């Protein structure tokens, strides 16, 4: 029997490979895409229940036991992210069927998306640093196809920048892996936690920790490594932008969280303080970008940068409250960014514009879109009882508990920046003087709005019913703050 841990990786991989053989059959492409993502959702939900009830699940591939075999590990952080990624991919694929256009759909869109999901789920699940690199390359290669899908000039320009940045990051990743292997003699994350803990604080280990922060910081979009993100995310069509905005930076955030709570914990005063400093600057620069632009896509893109800083601030504070809040806020950010980008897609469908100054008065003809967007903005900003509130309040509480007072104040004040930047879209586009637009047919609008409303209900429910989900996040935070849970699950015994 195939272990459940493997299935969220295998299901989209196999169906994506099959879709390559029927690339000219649009109906089969659509059905296969939905089946791949939907199958991943189903097995992820079963695995989530099993991890919560029975504890961390581990499978070691081949005939070698850990740390010599290749381990796949599903703890609560991992499976929460896998489940959310699979669910968002399913909803965005549904949205894409009506918004992307048949030509782009038949240009390997569905297999590339499933391969990207394979790499993302694998990165969240692997228990081995080298295989983290492998899964990074899997989802990056798929993202190279997606970012250039359609071949418009801006896409080709930004895709070249995106590819070059990631090639450099991949080379640095391999070099860093070599360094850590030379020090510890292993690449298994649980074994690294044990061996580096025995070695203790050393300058070379702290240097390797910073090198990993650079590698993963490029993926996450942390300052000063976020320079590629606004242009690269702006270029592709909205469904692909929604995939990138909701999922890709989160793999970088996850990787930083994993290594900075499991492996590099012996020199926290150095490594985590640097992470905190960069997180705060990331929040500030993201805030400037979000307020500076009047382009609807760029406003939300720079809000991605703000969220990266907020989440990693919680990780750098390195206590149970802050880390638990970061996990909760990470899931919230995946949901809300996907929702907002899909809503922006509907807005562009109606107006044909991205500049707020060219919009106005849409609330009269499109009240459902307008009022749901306003609620989504409140959730983005963390207005209670919506989904952003609980995570951010825990992060701030953890920051204050750790003595990071002025840093916590900046995190709290970022709420006002987020609210101000995103609510401008509501004020300019939906309020004010009504302007004339050749709006879409009612059926087209309905087809766009159906997946948006499903995701809207899920996002709002995540905040309103957070009390019922809290045990999952508390347990995830405890597992992150006590590496022995992870180490014992992978290596066995009392370590």
Peptide bond into 224 cis (omega under 30): yes
**Closest listed residue to residue 341, CA positions, set 299, 382, 311:** 299
Contact 251, 308 (CB under 8 A): no
384-441 pLDDT tens trace? 888 888 889 999 999 998 888 999 999 999 889 889 988 998 888 888 777 777 777 8
Say whether pLDDT at 119 is over 60: yes
- Give the integer Cα–Cα distance in Å for 401 and 24: 58
> For the residues 195-209, what does the mean pLDDT come to?
82
**pLDDT score for 494:** 44
Question: In sequence order, what are the residues at sequence separation of 6 or more whose Cβ sits closer than 8 angstroms to the Cβ of residue 217?
Answer: 225, 252, 256, 278
Band (281; pLDDT cuts 50, 70, 90): very high
- Give the integer Cα–Cα distance in Å for 5 and 303: 33
**pLDDT score for 132:** 92
> For the residues 286-308, what does the mean pLDDT come to?
90
Rounded to 5°, angle at Cα 37 from 392 and 334: 15
**pLDDT score for 2:** 60
Burial class of 494 by CB neighbour count within 10 A (0 to 12, 13 to 18, 19+)? exposed
Q: Among 156-160, 197-201, 439-443, which stretch is predicted with the lowest mean pLDDT?
A: 197-201
Rounded to 5°, angle at Cα 226 from 224 and 230: 145
CA torsion through residues 447, 448, 449, 450, sign: positive
Instruction: State how far Cα 125 lies from the chain centre.
Output: 14
- Give the integer Cα–Cα distance in Å for 105 and 364: 33
**pLDDT score for 205:** 87
Say whether pLDDT at 1 is over 50: no
227-247 pLDDT tens trace? 888 888 888 888 999 999 889
47-92 pLDDT tens trace? 999 999 888 888 888 767 777 778 899 999 999 999 999 999 999 9
Say whether pLDDT at 356 is over 90: no
Residue recorded with tokens 């991605």 = 304
Please provide the average confidence, as pLDDT, over all residues in the chain. Answer: 88
Contact 370, 297 (CB under 8 A): no
Band (495; pLDDT cuts 50, 70, 90): very low
Say whether pLDDT at 493 is over 70: no
What is the SS3 assignment for the chain?
Answer: CCCCCCHHHHHHHHHHHHHHHHCCCHHHHHHHHHHHHHHHHHHHHHHHHHHHHHCCEEEEECCCCCCCCEEEEECHHHHHHHHHHHHHHHHHHHHHHHHCCHHHHHHHHHHHHHHHHHHHHHHHHECEHHHHHHHHHHHHHHHHHHHCCCCCHHHHHHHHHHHHHHHHHHHHHHHHHHHHHHHHCCCEHHHHHHHHHHHCCCHHHHHHHHHHHHHHHHHHCCCCCCCCHHHHHHCCCHHHHHHHHHHHHHHHHHHHHHHHHHCCCCCHHHHHHHHHHHHHHHHHHHHHHHHHCCEHHHHHHHHHHHHHHHHHHHHHHCCHHHHHHHHHHHHHHHHHHHHHHHHHHHHHHHHCCCEHHHCCCHHHCCHHHHHHHHHHHHHHHCCCCCHHHHHHHHHHHHHHHCCCHHHHHHHHHHHHHHHHHHHHHHHHHHCCCCCCCCCCCHHHHHHHHHHHHHHHHHHHHHHHCHHHHHHHHHHHHHHHHCCHHHHHHHHCCCC
**pLDDT score for 44:** 94
Peptide bond into 67 cis (omega under 30): yes
- Give the integer Cα–Cα distance in Å for 44 and 459: 18
Residue recorded with tokens 């939907």 = 38
> For the residues 190-204, what does the mean pLDDT come to?
82
**β-pair type (70-74, 57-61):** antiparallel
């Amino acid at each position: 029997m195939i272990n459940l841990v493997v299935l969220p990786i295998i299901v989209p991989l196999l169906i994506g490979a099959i879709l390559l053989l029927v690339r000219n059959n649009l109906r089969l492409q659509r059905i296969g895409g939905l089946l791949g993502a939907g199958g991943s959702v189903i097995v992820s939900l079963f695995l989530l229940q099993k991890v919560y009830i029975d504890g961390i699940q581990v499978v070691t591939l081949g005939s070698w036991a850990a740390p010599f075999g290749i381990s796949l590990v599903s703890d609560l952080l991992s499976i929460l992210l896998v489940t959310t990624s699979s669910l968002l991919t399913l909803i965005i694929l549904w949205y894409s069927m009506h918004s992307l256009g048949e030509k782009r759909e038949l240009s390997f869109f569905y297999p590339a998306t499933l391969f990207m999901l394979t790499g993302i789920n694998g990165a969240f699940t692997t228990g081995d640093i080298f295989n983290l690199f492998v899964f990074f390359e899997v989802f990056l290669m798929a993202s190279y196809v997606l970012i250039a899908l359609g071949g418009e000039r801006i896409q080709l320009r930004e895709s070249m920048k995106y590819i070059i940045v990631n090639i450099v990051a991949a080379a640095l990743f391999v070099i860093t892996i070599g360094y850590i292997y030379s020090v510890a003699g292993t690449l298994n994350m649980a074994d690294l936690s044990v061996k580096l803990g025995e070695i203790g604080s050393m300058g070379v280990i702290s240097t390797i920790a910073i090198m990993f922060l650079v590698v993963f910081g490029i993926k996450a979009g942390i300052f000063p490594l976020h320079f590629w993100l606004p242009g690269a995310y702006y270029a592709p069509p909205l469904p692909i932008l929604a995939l990138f905005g909701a999922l890709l930076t989160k793999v970088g955030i996850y990787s930083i969280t994993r290594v900075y709570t499991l492996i590099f914990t012996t020199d926290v005063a150095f490594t985590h303080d640097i992470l905190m400093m960069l997180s705060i600057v990331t929040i500030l620069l993201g805030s400037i970008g979000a307020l500076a632009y009047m382009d609807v896509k760029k406003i939300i893109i720079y809000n991605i940068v703000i969220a990266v800083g907020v989440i990693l601030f919680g990780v750098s504070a390195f206590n149970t409250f802050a880390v638990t809040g970061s996990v909760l806020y990470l899931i919230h950010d995946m949901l809300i960014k996907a929702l907002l980008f899909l809503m922006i897609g509907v807005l562009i469908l109606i107006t044909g514009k991205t500049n707020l100054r060219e919009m106005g008065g849409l609330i009269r003809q499109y009240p459902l879109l307008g009022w749901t967007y306003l609620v989504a903005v409140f959730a983005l900003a963390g207005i209670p009882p919506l989904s952003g509130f609980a995570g951010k309040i825990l992060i701030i509480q953890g920051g204050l508990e750790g003595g990071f007072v002025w840093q916590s104040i900046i995190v709290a004040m970022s709420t006002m920046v987020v609210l101000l930047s995103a609510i401008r879209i509501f004020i300019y586009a939906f309020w004010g003087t009504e302007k004339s637009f050749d709006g879409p047919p009612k059926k087209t609008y309905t087809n766009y709005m159906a997946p948006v409303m499903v995701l809207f209900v899920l996002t709002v429910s995540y905040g309103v019913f957070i009390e019922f989900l809290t045990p999952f996040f508390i347990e995830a935070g405890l597992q992150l703050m006590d590496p022995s849970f992870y180490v014992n699950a992978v290596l066995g015994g009392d370590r």
